[in-house]
Amino acid sequence: MHNLDFSSWHSLLATAIGLSLITLIGVGIRLLVMVVVQQRRERMNRQINERLRTLIAAYRTLGGSFTGDLAVDPRHRRELRVMENGDMQASVRPDEGTDTAGSDRARRIRDAVEAALSDIILLGTEEHVRLADHAARELVTGQRVHTHDLVVSLRDFIRKALDLEPIPSDLSLPMQGPARAQASGNRGKEEGKKEGAGGNAGGGGGGMQAGGDMAVTGENHIDGHGNISQH
pLDDT, tens digit, 9 for 90 and up, residues 24-79: 999 999 999 999 999 999 999 999 999 999 999 999 999 988 988 888 888 765 55
What is the Cα–Cα distance from 155 to 47, expressed in whole angstroms?
19
What is the Cα–Cα distance from 161 to 52, expressed in whole angstroms?
8
C-alpha angle with apex 198: 192 to 199, nearest 5 degrees? 90
Residue 145: what residue type?
Answer: V
Residue 16 has pLDDT above 90, yes or no: no
Residue 123: count of CB within 10 angstroms of its CB: 17
- Give the residue ranges of DSSP H helices in the chain: 9-62, 77-85, 101-123, 126-140, 148-161, 186-218
In contact, 115 and 130? CB cutoff 8 Å: no
Domain spans, the chain? 50-77+103-162
Residue 128 has pLDDT above 70, yes or no: yes
What is the Cα–Cα distance from 74 to 190, expressed in whole angstroms?
30
Angstrom CA distances, 91 to 82, 87, 94, 119, stand at 11, 11, 10, 35
What is the Cα–Cα distance from 228 to 220, expressed in whole angstroms?
7
- State the pLDDT at residue 73: 83
* 188 — pLDDT class (breaks 50, 70, 90): very low
Provide the residue count of the chain: 231
